[in-house]
Amino acid sequence: MHPWVGAGDDDRRRILAELGLTSIDQLFASIPDGVCVDRLPIADGADEGTVRAELASLGLANLSLDCAPSFLGAGVHRHVQPSVVDAVLSRAEFFTSYTPYQPEITQGTLQAIFEFQTLICQLTGLEVANASLYDGATALVEAALFAHRVKRGKLDRVVVAETVHPMYRRVLDTYAAPASLEVVVVPPRENGRTDASDLRAAAGDGLTCCVVVQSPNFLGLVEDLPAVAGAAREAGALAVQVVAEAVSLGLLSGGGTHGFDVVCGEAQSFGLAPGFGGPHLGFFACREAQIRQMPGRLVGETVDSGGRRAFCLTLSTREQHIRRAKATSNICTNQGLMALAATVWLEAIGGRGLRQLAAACLARCEDLKRRLAAVGGGWRLAHPAGPTFNELLLIGPGTGAELARRLAERGVLAGVPARTWGGSWPDGLIVAATERTTVADVDALVRAIGEAT
């Protein structure tokens, strides 16, 4: 008998008797013998202390980010973590609840998502936002498919800046072929930024459903959003902004302000653990006129039969459980609890706090740039005068992977090798700072580079 199974042997015998049966096996008689097993080839169950110790030892075999100076970013960032976030997430009323299909008994989840949607609209400068997607990479995919639908399935080309996170672009490639999308990649100029005229040229006229840039881009540089939006408009395409470091939206205006049609990406920075890559939080915002093509769940405000304000899932005629093969996406379960975490985080930090936090990221990154500009050993900033937010590209005599390895041996997680997924840019290291980066961390990085080169 196991504590997570509600009935014991006596209970099972009693129920069998009530059903007029003698053995539970009788209930499985419809399964053909040829597919059955008596016992699974895995160990029997273990007690709580044993399992906890096993999992703890797996954890101890990893180097936690809390134990070493870390400059890792590239879409997964470590920011301040108010204790209230996990306190709310640990409430069983939230984490053991289902998708809020019964609004009368899920107003808590529904109102929290409504607040999340509002916050995403405010940050992106767009009119409507959904209840979440899986992650930043799939948000890019959904944006491309969204644009394809908005253009009535007639424009098959997707123009993507190479400086969109290369891992996201790989995921887009996985989905593009079956969706008959042609992905055209536009490399950055020498300065690490994407030139709007290059996007415009790649888009052609009336061929492209969307033009996608990431800002700040993979190399850490802020893109010229107004020019990109103009280029997309001229080409008859939607303009899509990907955001991989959501905290940047505390300081930078969202693409909606500059004429972008979609702003989407990864919101892990809003209070989610790095967690070896998941669960994180995809978000998606667009214009209200195109809401019927939006993927994923959506919460709307309405009233109950007594006229009181209430919330419920809405426009579900876009979704798979109603539209089946004609749905805007096949997404069902999304990242609800992660959207709640982001909502609690943003509300605890506050609008003013988010701005200060983003400004601290910028200040720490500028300090890092000053220190690295003088680091020696042939290592230098790839774009010393470029407009960065909190990441930069460090280049030098060796490859980024080699530098990362040598510094890891010295106990410093120096950054992400810039060519991890390939790229036309110089082979170097993407180095990230946040408000949690300390002067001591930067000292350790600079010292380690000095020793290693």
Residues of this chain, 72-131, that bind other proteins according to CB under 8 A: 72, 74-76, 78, 80, 82, 84, 86-88, 90-100, 102-109, 111-115, 117-119, 121-123, 127-129, 131
Q: In the bound complex, what is the minimum distance in angstroms from residue 230's beta carbon to other proteins? A: 13
Quick one: which of 226, 231, 217 has its CA closest to 188?
Answer: 217
Cα dihedral sign for 271, 296, 278, 388?
A: negative
Alpha helix segments (H runs only) across 125-224: 136-150, 166-176, 196-203
Q: Are 338 and 82 in contact (CB under 8 A)?
A: no
Q: In the bound complex, what is the minimum distance in angstroms from residue 158's beta carbon to other proteins? A: 16
* 374 lies in the binding site for other proteins (CB under 8 A): no
Q: Which one among 22, 182, 260, 359 touches other proteins, defined by CB under 8 A? A: 359
Q: How many CB atoms lie within 10 A of CB 427?
A: 17
Q: In the bound complex, what is the minimum distance in angstroms from residue 133's beta carbon to other proteins? A: 9
User: What whole-number distance in Å separates Cα of residue 400 and Cα of residue 219?
Assistant: 13
168 contacts: CB under 8 Å, gap ≥ 6: 75, 136, 137, 140, 214, 242, 244
Binding mask 187-216 toward other proteins (x if CB under 8 A, else -) reads ------------------------------
For the chain, what is the largest distance between any 2 Cα atoms, rounded to a whole number of angstroms?
83
Stretch that binds other proteins, among 148-156, 182-190, 203-211, 348-356 (CB under 8 A): 348-356
Give 17 or 201: the residue with its C-beta nearer to other proteins: 17
Q: In the bound complex, what is the minimum distance in angstroms from residue 205's beta carbon to other proteins? A: 27
Give 145 or 155: the residue with its C-beta nearer to other proteins: 145
* 302 lies in the binding site for other proteins (CB under 8 A): yes
Give 211 or 228: the residue with its C-beta nearer to other proteins: 228
Which 215-274 residues touch other proteins, going by CB under 8 A?
Answer: 222, 224-226, 249-254, 258, 266, 273-274
Give 174 or 424: the residue with its C-beta nearer to other proteins: 174
Q: Which one among 187, 206, 351, 450 touches other proteins, defined by CB under 8 A? A: 351
Binding mask 389-428 toward other proteins (x if CB under 8 A, else -) reads x--------------xx--x----x--x---xx-------
192: which 2 tokens? 């690490």
Is residue 330 packed enough to be buried (19+ CB in 10 Å), middle (13-18) or exposed (0-12)? exposed
**Binding-residue total with other proteins (CB under 8 A):** 204
Q: Are 125 and 257 in contact (CB under 8 A)?
A: yes
Which 19-78 residues touch other proteins, going by CB under 8 A?
Answer: 19, 24, 27-32, 34-37, 39-46, 48, 51-52, 54-66, 70, 72, 74-76, 78
Ramachandran quadrant class, 355 (left: phi over 0; alpha: psi -120 to 50; beta: rest): alpha
Give 356 or 453: the residue with its C-beta nearer to other proteins: 356
Q: Which one among 199, 360, 392, 445 touches other proteins, defined by CB under 8 A? A: 360
Q: Which one among 197, 206, 289, 323 touches other proteins, defined by CB under 8 A? A: 323
Give 191 or 356: the residue with its C-beta nearer to other proteins: 356
Cα dihedral sign for 258, 260, 266, 270?
A: positive
* 354 lies in the binding site for other proteins (CB under 8 A): yes
Q: Which one among 161, 243, 247, 338 touches other proteins, defined by CB under 8 A? A: 338
Give the CB-side neighbour count of residue 137, counting CA atoms within 13 A. Answer: 19
Q: Which one among 204, 279, 377, 426 touches other proteins, defined by CB under 8 A? A: 279
Q: Are 110 and 103 in contact (CB under 8 A)?
A: yes
Binding mask 433-452 toward other proteins (x if CB under 8 A, else -) reads --xx-xx-------------
215: which 2 tokens? 């800002």
Q: Which one among 164, 196, 312, 375 touches other proteins, defined by CB under 8 A? A: 312
306: which 2 tokens? 């007594």
**What does the buried/exposed string (b/e) look like for 146-174 if buried means 16 or more CB atoms within 10 Å of the residue's CB?**
bbbbbbeeebbbbbbbbbbbbbbbebbee
- Give the C-alpha distances (Å, rounded to integers) separating 363 from 33, 221, 251, 275, 392: 68, 15, 12, 26, 13
Give backbone dihedrals phi and psi of 350, rounded to 5 degrees, phi first.
80, 160
Q: Are 181 and 151 in contact (CB under 8 A)?
A: no
Which 127-186 residues touch other proteins, going by CB under 8 A?
Answer: 127-129, 131-132, 134-138, 167-168, 170-171, 173-174, 178-180
Give 201 or 359: the residue with its C-beta nearer to other proteins: 359
Strand partners, 240: 212, 262
